[in-house]
Amino acid sequence: MSTETLLRGSVLTVTRRFAAGIDITEGALRFAVVSKRLHANRPVCVERLEEVLLEPGVVIGGDFIDQPAITAALREAFSRLPARGALRSLRCAMALLASATLTTRAPLARLTQSSQMAISALSGRDPRGLLGPAVLAEVERVAGIERGALAVDWSIQAGANGETEVLIAATGRQFVESRVETAAAANIMLSAIDGEPCAALQALRYSARMEIDPHDRFVACWVETAGLHAWVIGPDGVENEVRYPAPEYSSATEALTDLVGDDPDVRWIYIGGDIELLGRAGVSTPMLAALFGCPVMPFECAPFCNGAQRVDQRLAHSPLFAVAMGLALREVMP
C-alpha cells in the first residue's frame, strides 16, 4: 500500500467519525457503516451496507441460540470491509429485541424521597451513585424480576409536565451478555446496545429531518414481526406513541388514529422495517395515505449513500436497514 493511501486513511480517521450498527434478526444480520464529518453541519454518509442471511433457528425471539453461527456471520460482514483504512476503526452498536426491553418513567422526587434532592441539588454530584439503588428497586418492582438478573440503564430528563423524571430501560442480563460475547468472538468490541424501536426511530427522525420542513408534523412507523411501533413527531420532538397489537386496539388503523388524536394534521408518514407485514395487519400504504391525507414514504439509506465506498443499491433502498442505520447514527451524532 502506498504512503499516499496510508496518509489518506489517517486523515479520514481524524476528520471523520465512523461507526457501525449491527441488527441481528431471526432471518438475517444487517450491518450499516456511517461516517460524519467532525465540527461540520453536514449529513452523514452511509459508507457500507451488508446483509448476511441466517439459517432458521439461529436466532429465536431475541435469543442467540447458535452463537458460533452468528459470530461467523459477523466475521463475514466485517470481512467485506477494506482490509485497511478508516472503516476498520469503528465504534459498533448492536440492537436488542423490542420485546426483551422494558422501559418506564418515574418522578425524580419519588425516587429520591426527599425534596432536597431535586435535580438542581444533583449538580456537581454523582447522580448515578445517589440514585442507583432507588432505580434498581423501581425496575425490580415494575419488571417483577430480581435486579441481579437485569441489565439497567437510566437518565434524568425533563418531563412534559415540567416535572423532572428518570427514564429507565432494563433487559435480561443474558441478552446483553450473549451479544457482548458473540461480538467479542468475532473480535468486535461493542460500544453500545440499544433497543430496536429506539434505533429505528433515530433513523426515521434523521431521514425526515433531512428531507422535510423541520416544522412539519409527521408520523414515524416501524414494523417488526411482533407488531407496529408508531410515533407522532412535532417541532418539539415526540408527542405521542403507540404499539400494536395492544389490548385497547382492535386494528392497526385504530391504533394509528388514536396516535394522532384530535389533531390529525400530519404532513408525512415515514415507515421502516418489514413493511410487507402491514398487509397481514390489514393495512396498506395507500390506505394510510388516504386515512391521513398525506404521502407515505418508505425509509431508505439511499439519500445518504454518498460516501467513498460503493453501496449495493438493493440494500440502499431497503427499509429493513432502519435499525442498523439508527444504531450507527447514535455513535456519530453529538
**Nearest to 108, CA basis, from 152, 151, 155:** 155
Evaluate if residue 12 carries a pLDDT over 60: no
pLDDT of residue 10: 42
Q: How far apart are CA 215 and CA 195, in angstroms?
A: 27
Range 45-55 average pLDDT:
95
User: Which one is predicted more confidently, 260 or 71?
Assistant: 71
pLDDT of residue 229: 93
Evaluate if residue 62 carries a pLDDT over 60: yes
Range 47-71 average pLDDT:
94
Other beta carbons within 10 Å of 110 = 12
**Nearest to 23, CA basis, from 312, 333, 332, 325:** 325
Other beta carbons within 10 Å of 302 = 15
**What's the mean per-residue pLDDT of the chain?**
84
Contact 168, 152 (CB under 8 A): yes
Within this chain, domains 3-99+175-198+303-332 and 213-298 share the same CATH topology? yes
> Which residue(s) pair with 220 in the sheet?
231, 270
Q: What is each CA distance from 174 to 22, 31, 56, 181, in whole angstroms? A: 18, 22, 21, 10
Q: How far apart are CA 244 and CA 169, in angstroms?
A: 20
C-alpha grid cell for residue 165? 423524571
Percent of the chain with pLDDT over 90: 43
Q: Give the pLDDT band (50/70/90) at residue 82.
A: confident
> Which residue(s) pair with 157 in the sheet?
165
Domain extent listing, the chain: 3-99+175-198+303-332, 101-170, 213-298
Range 239-243 average pLDDT:
90
Q: Give the pLDDT band (50/70/90) at residue 98.
A: confident
pLDDT digits (tens, 9 = 90+) for 162-176: 678 888 888 888 999
Supply the DSSP string of 83-139, one letter for each residue: SSSGGGS-EEEEEE-GGGEEEEEEEHHHHHT-GGG-GGGGTTS-HHHHHHHHHHHHH
* First-to-last C-alpha distance (Å) of the chain: 33
Evaluate if residue 79 carries a pLDDT over 60: yes
User: Which CATH superfamily does the domain covering 213-298 fall into?
Assistant: ATPase, nucleotide binding domain (3.30.420.40)
pLDDT digits (tens, 9 = 90+) for 139-152: 888 888 888 888 88
pLDDT of residue 168: 82
Other beta carbons within 10 Å of 182 = 23
pLDDT of residue 232: 93
Question: Strands 28-37 and 16-24, how do they pair?
Answer: antiparallel
Evaluate if residue 242 carries a pLDDT over 70: yes
Architecture of 3-99+175-198+303-332 per CATH? 2-Layer Sandwich (3.30)
pLDDT of residue 116: 43
Range 205-227 average pLDDT:
91
Range 182-205 average pLDDT:
93
Q: Give the pLDDT band (50/70/90) at residue 115.
A: very low
Evaluate if residue 291 carries a pLDDT over 60: yes
pLDDT of residue 84: 61
